[in-house]
Amino acid sequence: MTTPARSSLILRSLYALAGVVIIGWGAAVLRVGLVGVDPYTAFNAGAGTLLGWGLGPFQLLANLVLFVPVLIW
């Protein structure tokens, strides 16, 4: 990989990481504030509770399950 392409990949990866952190922080604030969360997080919280897991580990697993097909296709 050339240097400009590599630096572009690193920069885009950092932007994506920052976006995930901001979205996660926002969901955490909404959940702690007891004002409700987005439907995907609500589903993950409920399904995680049914399985005896916390929201974090279950959401991580659910995102991984969705991410793998995205990489394939």
DSSP string, 6-70: HHHHHHHHHHHHHHHHHHHHHHHHHHHTTS---HHHHHHHHHHHHHT--HHHHHHHHHHHHHHHH
pTM over 0.95: no
The residue behind tokens 């979205």 is 23
Express each pLDDT in 7-56 by its tens digit: 888 888 889 889 888 887 888 888 888 887 778 888 888 898 999 998 88
AA letter at 15: Y
